[in-house]
Chains A and B, each alone.
Chain A
Amino acid sequence: MGKIPPALRSAISSNTLLKTPTTTQPEKSPRHFLNKKPSRKSKESVSPETQKIPAVFKSPELSEAKKIFNSLITGKQNHIDRPFHNSLLQSYASISTVDNSISLLRHMIHKNPSFVPDRSTYHILISQSCKEPDSNLSSVRNILNLMVTNGLEPNQGTTDIAVRSLCSVNRVDDAVELVKELSSKNSPPDVYTYNFLVKCLCKCRALSTVYSFVDELRNSFDIKPNLVTYTILIDNVCNTKNLREAMRLVSALSDSGFRPDCFVYNTIMKGYCNLSKGSEVIGVYKKMKEEGVEPDLVTYNTLIFGLSKSGRVGEAKKFLKIMVEAGHFPDAVTYTSLMNGMCREGDAMGAMALLEEMEARGCSPNACTYNTLLHGLCKSRLLEKGIELFGVMEEDGMKLETASYATFVRALCRVGQVAEAYEVFDYAVESKSLSDVAAYTTLESTLKWLKKAKEQGHAV
């Protein structure tokens, strides 16, 4: 989710336009719910513009573009296929205005009558018109009309491209308006577009707005939320710690004939984790087992994270065993969560032992693992070990996190290693772990605290 589906990516990018399927059937990417964990993949995929499109056009000037086009096609009109034209149009669209792109398209058709634009050709223009700054929907409507006059009815792919383009430039309200408009003209969004839009709305609008959108589409166009939609909604309310609403949604989805799947349970479990409610976290796990839903890696990671967070490390360790027995491979997230729990209990050495165990099992620690350990070691007054660990982080160019940086600097100052604290400050700034301001204020306030402690006669 949040990713541009492969089918769509090719639809907006350059040369496979002819093969573009007319409906978008994007594969659902695996959903990760442990948002704050290290393994979090960068969710924003490469936007279409950053993909390599040959820089044929260097100026947005229309006459220039026409000239370039003419020189490219001279003498080989019949050998140039539609994808080639589409690529050119795409390239030009990335630097020009919509009106100029339309003019260039007209010019192309005029100069090379063998070129017949298809949907993907117009999709380029749709995408461009949606992203044009300071515009309203009228330019999108223009292109849609242009499509219709050329005998191409907009389809679900068209809707999808328009919605995603609009949302990519934060025009969510326009996207909603367009979807309603297209739905009333017998071109309703498919479930992927619909869910995408619901997710965007969740991110930037009040819950009531999202609900009224869902209701309106259900009542007016018979577009119903599916299990994924419910998961998105539950995720959203869980993130705002509104577990009561989440429970209401769970019963609503059951009433609509859906059975909660692993994703739904994982989402709810994450909600309880955020509230550090260990018993409820285990409750969700038991419920899954009762309902015959097989927990996956994310379930176990969430479980271990939640238990560690609510100070129930013993149980978390047990679940590490259980998950291995169930055939899952614990990953960096699993181990880091557990280490975090152990460090909270003051068992930093135990966490270090777990680091060895994890590496022995072929699982590589990441920056978050090291930050957790550094933080834990400093808290447990094992500064020597911490300095050693920091050396490894430095070598690998790992970034420091705010908390571990602050704890480390403080621990160094406490034992009078101010110069070393300055070096850590330099590293934090150079590696861009923190902003200069954040790094400096931490250092400054730590030194202030040190001075006070000295004045009050505390040991340093």
Chain B
Amino acid sequence: MLPQRVKKTIIDNPKKLANLIDLVNLPSTLREFVGQSQISRLGCFMRVWSYIKTNNLQDPNNKNVVKCDQKLRSILMGKPQVELAELPALIKLHFPKDSK
């Protein structure tokens, strides 16, 4: 039951929760991608994930892999392809801890 316990601590921990849902001023690359100047880390993840889905960027042979298009590459450190599993961590890079 590890994930459940972890989840609980995150929701119970106001700092970690804030880190996830507080609006943050975005750097210009990200600003271009999401089309607004502020977004939360959670909101950004949702945006990117739905972008992947609507543009069918998952590799048809291996759905766990995302083939980045030009736009996605610009915010995911220029990688041509990323694993779905590392998506949250990659997005987190844009939301450094000290920004709050």
Contact = CB atoms under 8 A, between A and B. Distances in A.
Interface of A: 402-403, 406-407, 409-410, 413, 416-420, 422, 436-438, 440-451
B11 A448 contact: no
Given A438-B11, A441-B6, A447-B89, 4 more contacts: A406-B4, A437-B20, A440-B88, A447-B87
Determine chain A's interface SS by DSSP, over half rule: helix
A392 B85 CA distance: 26
Given A441-B7, A442-B4, A448-B89, A436 B46 contact: yes
A235 B19 CA distance: 40
A438 B85 contact: no
Contact of A422 (B2, B6, B84): B84
B27 to A, nearest CB: 21
Nearest to B87: A447
List the 7 closest pairs (A to B, CB-CB), nearest first.
A419-B63, A445-B6, A406-B3, A444-B88, A406-B4, A418-B64, A441-B10
Interface residues of B, number: 25
Contacts, number: 72
Nearest to A423: B63
B49 interface: yes
Nearest to B50: A426
Interface string B1-34: 1111011001100000100110000000000000
B29 to A, nearest CB: 22
B85 A440 contact: no
8 contacts: A409-B3, A416-B64, A419-B84, A436-B46, A440-B20, A445-B2, A445-B3, A445-B6
A406 B88 contact: no
A457 B71 CA distance: 34
Interface in B30-71: 42, 45-46, 49, 58, 63-64
A300 B96 CA distance: 55
Contact of A442 (B7, B17, B58): B7
Given A403-B1, A449-B2, A437 B86 contact: no
Nearest to B62: A419
Contacts of B42: 436-437, 440
